[in-house]
Structure 1
Amino acid sequence: MKFKFFFIVILFFCNTSFCQKSYDLKKIDSLKQLFSQFNKVDSTSVANTHYKIAEFYRKSTPFTDSAFFHYHKAEKLFKLLNAKYELALTLYGISVIQKNEKDFIGSEVTSIESLSLFDQLQETQPVIVGKSFVYNNLGIVFKELEQYEESIEYFEKSIELKKKLKGDNQYLIGTSISNLGNTYKKSLQFSTAIKCYMQILNNKKIIREHPDYYAVVLNNYAHTLYLSQKHDQLPGLFFKALKISDSISYRGYNSIIINQNLAEYYNDKGDKALAKHYAYTAKDIAEKYHNDDLLKSLLLLSKIEEGEIAANHLKSYVSLNDSLQKNERNIRNKFARIRFETNQIEEENIQIAKERTWLLVISGILVIASFLLYIVINQRNKNKELKFIQEQQETNEEIYNLMLSQNEKIEEARTLEKKRISEELHDGVLGRLFGARLSLDSLNMSNSMEAVKTREQYIGELKTIEEDIRKVSHELNTDFVSGSGFIDIIKTLVETQTKVYNLSCKLKQDDIINWDEVSNKKKIHIYRIIQESLHNIYKHANATQVNVSFELKNNVIWLTLIDDGTGFDVNKTKSGIGLKNMNSRIKEINGVIDITSQKNTGTTVTIKVPIS
């Protein structure tokens, strides 16, 4: 996570030109979004991100207050982490902003604090670089405070440290030498300043790789020659510096001072036209930045111009000077507010952290309570389900007992029928057969026509007795109550339910179904399914006619219930508890259910149950 985060940040900064004075708000917004995405990583990552954002604001945008804000956030975090090197770099960034906003005393204090941290660290390459930058910043601060000896001392320390660095550091060394030359020039030590500038101007590598920097040094060198009354190479050196500055993409800002120096040079030579040309050129460019360079251009024009025009430029100078001073004070006050508000925010964050802790505790309690409540409710539902199963079992036992009772009645009827047939055979058929046999015996001795005729009558009687015996035999072979017990129970159920529900019902059954081969479990579930179906028809269908039928197809019992009710959309209707119970029962007996329905036509429920 850390690696990915810093890789993205590094890529972002590598694609940004920090030396440009222009700025890209889209890049700032994208970096803010990047920071918000990783806001929850560890404190080191957050602190480094604040530092990177502050560096971006400081080097490539005019938003110094935003840079100060993020530096200050990074400072707080690095202090908590005891990250001395990172804290020292952050303080250096703050000191540079203070110096740029002319808070020289504040910049000095912050720079000394940064140096004290660097002094506590082992003198590695990064530490040497950091210290050299701080010394360079202190040199600029003391130059602006006109404490030139201290300024020279700090620049020399910066140069000494940069010379210790490994590799090619000519450019880094050159920046401090150039700043040292500026201090000598401002303290009127022109010859020493010229020597400093010449060290840089004689370095062809700097000319080739840093033309913008070369143009600045060349202008300072030319201006020092002008101040020391050495005009032999002037204004050629100024033009050379201006040409280089104008040839690069960000020429505008650096060319302001060159144009001012040319205006000052030509004014001194008495060429007012050229002096005005370069002075106004400098003013036009400086107006884009509204800073000290514009202030200097206005003052220069008040000296070059005459009369009312010069007075107007002087008034503009005074007005802008007051505005800049006021703005500087506001910025310094804003820095103070940022420090105060940041501390206030930190206190609020501590309070928020406490509130979050309590919120987490309360949330945890609520979660546990909800979990316990869920367990209680779930247990109640399970108890209800068990109770329902128990009630179903009791109902099934009741049906089973009813079937047993019905079977006892069937057996009793079967016994009575056997007794009736036995009596019929004994008292009727056997008596008639015995009488016919005696009569035939008495006729065997006679051959008269009357005897023959009587014999034929008795033979006819024997045929009648034969038919009666065959009939009784057939009745004995046909178990008239075989399988009729379960159907009688179903018939009773249907008649009872339809009478209560005010329905007209037809029951049709296939005689080839041998219900004795069907298990009691399946019979019980079939009974309950019919009972539930009739209840659903009464409750939802608003039907007047119901047809119930049993068929046997390929050793599978087809139970069909058809009503002429209102019907419903099978795909949209949710399954109620009745239909769920039916499905559960059908599943237990390995059956299949199929429901078809049409609105205002009726519903057909087909249940298929294998016999075995």
Structure 2
Amino acid sequence: MSIQSQTQQNLYKIDSIHNVLKNNKTFDSIYIAEEHYKIGELFRKSLLVDTAYYYYQIAEKVFRKYDYKYETAITLYGISVCQKNNKDFTGSEVTSIESLTLLNELKESKEVNQYKAYNYNNLGVVFNELGLFEESIKYHQLALELKKSLEGDFERSIGLSENNIGYAYKAVGKYELAKEAFNRILANKGLVANYPDVYVLALGNYAHTLYLLREFDQLPSLYLNALEICSEAGLEYNSIIIHQHLAEYYSHKNQKDSALYYAYKAKDISEKYSNDDLLKSLLILSEIEEKDKAFMFLNEYISLNDSLQKAERAIRDKFARIRFDTQRVEQENIQIAKERMWLLILSVVIIITSLLLYVVINQRNKNKELQFIQKQQETNEEIYNLMLSQHDNVEEARALEKKRISQELHDGVLGRLFGTRLSLDSLNMNNSVEAINTRSQYIDELKAIEQDIRKVSHELNTDFVSGGGFMDIIKTLVETQTKVYALDYELKQDDTINWETLPNKNKIHIYRIIQEALHNIHKHAEASLVTISFKLKKDVICLTIKDDGVGFDVNKAKSGIGLKNMNARIKDIQGKITITSEKEAGTTVTLKAPIN
């Protein structure tokens, strides 16, 4: 049966006893004391130690008052176990001795000797916890001898005593004696079926003794066998120490992954049951993990250890107060509840404040990010405007130069030609047929030259600036870059694209992507020809940049800064970029950018 289900059953029994006492006012004091003792026992077995202690105290006072020595002795034994479980080892020792003193005054019987054995066992555990291992072994042996003399089924209890003796031998470093003690338990094969928890306990301790002796032949199979029994018998709690020992074993074998697996498993299970086991699991993790994680678990270990020590001191103090004044303890419990409530309120306030602070800081960071994006957009606009301005300046200079040449042709050359023609006209006074024909030919020729020069002049004077724009900037970029990179190029444009309606941000990103692509072709492709083409398909600008270089494996290529920048730019304009390549077959970069 699991610890949770056993606890639930005990709580039902407690409610039943409370109801009986509440509904019948005629019970005498001894009967009420006995019922309080039963409630204390149930709470102790449910691991609710401080509550058990409270009911034991009520029962003890009545039993002492009426000089019920046996009842007082067994109640004191319950109190001593509560004290031991809360690490009040000195108090537990004193209470156990007092219980034994009362039992020794009584006539020997099975029940008296049984509780003597229980007290000896408790003293053995207490001295083991205090590090007095020789004393621990002595009391465990006294408990074992008494249990063996008792009639009835004490197989489980005897097995626990033998395990405690082996554990004490192991703790003091007498490993061979420890092995003998554990082997005596393991020789009883009936324990696996009847009391698997005792068998697993002994098997795990035996395996750990072999580990301490560095006898690894049977490891880790013994540990794994113990885990298998735990799993089959539903002994999850008993598996904690097995997982801890496996973590230590694999850590010693430098099998870190396995060590971490069992260490984390021990920690996860410990969190359900025992702070002491959790404390040891945290310490193991701090020794196995590395750097930051090790430091984190060490801090958790220290924090939990401090917390447990404080809690243990608080409970020991509470036990002392209960002994002298139960009512006062109740009042102090109310005060503790109030303090916990205030602590809860304070914690909630701190959490809410932290949450609000986080929201404010997060919002501020988002605002800064938005401001940065806005500033970046403004910078892109400014860059593009500067590019347009530079392009307009160049085109304006070209127009001025054309105009100057036109004026020179018109005012200079045409003027002189016109004068010559007039002179030839004046020579027409010679009326000879030959002269007239010759002069007429020259005049016609001059007229033709005049028309040709006039036509050139008008063409030069035409304003070509209106034809300039984004594609001129792109053409200038491609011409300049390919010349530097020693590349031939083909630039194909789509006249249906109205670049004036496209936001400047989009043009900047397209410009930079082409620039980066040309740079990558020069750096990696070993190409001789690059083809750049624009197409408009369903309000989507399709840009294709293709080279005849060596190509590469797209799946294995690392994403460098240039490619990341290209992806970031196309993402910013809600576009899509695709790169296809084959070795020795060139590379094609396809960009799709919506107009809107």
TM-score category by the smaller chain?
A: 0.5 to 0.7
Q: Which among 259, 262, 272 is matched to residue 246 of structure 2?
A: 262
Does residue 333 of the first structure (1) align with residue 313 of the second (2)? no
DSSP-derived class of the 1:122 partner: coil
DSSP-derived class of the 2:131 partner: coil
* Cα distance per residue 1:318-342 (max 9 Å; x no partner): 0000000011011111212222333
* Cα distance per residue 1:493-521 (max 9 Å; x no partner): xxxxxxxxxxxxxxxxxxxxxxxxxxxxx
Does residue 41 of the first structure (1) align with residue 27 of the second (2)? yes
Q: Which among 303, 319, 324 is matched to residue 308 of structure 2?
A: 324
CA distance in 1, matches of 2:91, 2:174: 28
Quote the residue 2:82 is aligned against: 97
User: Identity of counterpart residues, as a percentage?
Assistant: 52
Paired residues of 2:17 and 2:35 also in contact (CA < 8 A):
no
Quote the residue 1:53 is aligned against: 39
CA apart distance, 1:216: 1.3
CA apart distance, 1:20: 6.0
Quote the residue 1:217 is aligned against: 202
Paired residues of 2:76 and 2:95 also in contact (CA < 8 A):
yes
Quote the residue 1:86 is aligned against: 71
Distance 1:260 1:54, change over 3 A: same
Distance 1:292 1:334, change over 3 A: same
Does residue 189 of the first structure (1) align with residue 177 of the second (2)? no
TM-score (norm 2): 0.53
Q: Which among 93, 110, 120 is matched to residue 105 of structure 2?
A: 120
Give the letter for the 1:147 counterpart.
L
CA distance in 2, matches of 1:328, 1:345: 16
Quote the residue 1:64 is aligned against: 49
CA apart distance, 1:163: 1.8
Give the letter for the 2:19 counterpart.
Q
Does residue 139 of the first structure (1) align with residue 124 of the second (2)? yes
Q: Which among 196, 219, 238 is matched to residue 234 of structure 1?
A: 219
Does residue 149 of the first structure (1) align with residue 134 of the second (2)? yes
CA distance in 2, matches of 1:124, 1:19: 34
Distance 1:341 1:292, change over 3 A: same
Paired residues in the alignment total 329
Paired residues of 1:19 and 1:59 also in contact (CA < 8 A):
no
CA distance in 1, matches of 2:106, 2:93: 21
Structure whose alpha-carbon radius of gyration is higher: 1
CA distance in 1, matches of 2:124, 2:20: 36
CA distance in 1, matches of 2:151, 2:185: 19
Quote the residue 2:517 is aligned against: none
CA apart distance, 1:103: 0.3
* Cα distance per residue 1:433-463 (max 9 Å; x no partner): xxxxxxxxxxxxxxxxxxxxxxxxxxxxxxx
Paired residues of 1:18 and 1:59 also in contact (CA < 8 A):
no
Paired residues of 2:169 and 2:175 also in contact (CA < 8 A):
yes
| CA RMSD in angstroms, aligned pairs only | 2.0
Give the letter for the 1:120 counterpart.
E
CA distance in 2, matches of 1:17, 1:314: 31
User: Which 4+ runs in 1 deviate beyond 4 A?
Assistant: 16-22, 24-27, 343-346
CA distance in 2, matches of 1:238, 1:221: 9
CA apart distance, 1:22: 4.3
Paired residues of 2:7 and 2:45 also in contact (CA < 8 A):
no
* Cα distance per residue 1:354-390 (max 9 Å; x no partner): xxxxxxxxxxxxxxxxxxxxxxxxxxxxxxxxxxxxx
CA distance in 2, matches of 1:175, 1:254: 13
TM-score (norm 1): 0.52
CA apart distance, 1:242: 0.6
CA apart distance, 1:208: 1.9
DSSP-derived class of the 1:287 partner: helix
Paired residues of 1:139 and 1:150 also in contact (CA < 8 A):
yes
Quote the residue 2:402 is aligned against: none
Quote the residue 1:279 is aligned against: 263
Distance 1:75 1:343, change over 3 A: farther
CA distance in 2, matches of 1:69, 1:266: 45
Paired residues of 2:322 and 2:328 also in contact (CA < 8 A):
no
CA distance in 1, matches of 2:329, 2:315: 20
CA distance in 2, matches of 1:278, 1:21: 27
Matching of residues 501-580 of structure 1 within 5 Å: none
* Cα distance per residue 1:59-83 (max 9 Å; x no partner): 02x3211100000011001101211
Paired residues of 1:39 and 1:46 also in contact (CA < 8 A):
no
Matching of residues 3-14 of structure 1 within 5 Å: none
Paired residues of 1:50 and 1:74 also in contact (CA < 8 A):
yes
Quote the residue 1:435 is aligned against: none
Give the letter for the 2:263 counterpart.
A
Give the letter for the 2:173 counterpart.
L
Paired residues of 1:266 and 1:274 also in contact (CA < 8 A):
yes
CA distance in 2, matches of 1:320, 1:21: 27
CA apart distance, 1:218: 0.6
CA apart distance, 1:21: 6.3
CA distance in 2, matches of 1:56, 1:85: 19
CA distance in 2, matches of 1:273, 1:345: 49
CA distance in 2, matches of 1:195, 1:227: 15
Matching of residues 420-431 of structure 1 within 5 Å: none
Give the letter for the 1:320 counterpart.
L
Give the letter for the 1:162 counterpart.
K
CA apart distance, 1:213: 1.6
Quote the residue 1:598 is aligned against: none
CA apart distance, 1:23: 3.5
CA apart distance, 1:277: 0.4
CA apart distance, 1:43: 1.6
CA distance in 1, matches of 2:28, 2:328: 22
Distance 1:78 1:100, change over 3 A: same
* Cα distance per residue 1:11-66 (max 9 Å; x no partner): xxxxx988966435444333322332345401221111011000000002x32111
Unaligned runs of 5+ in 1: 1-15, 347-612
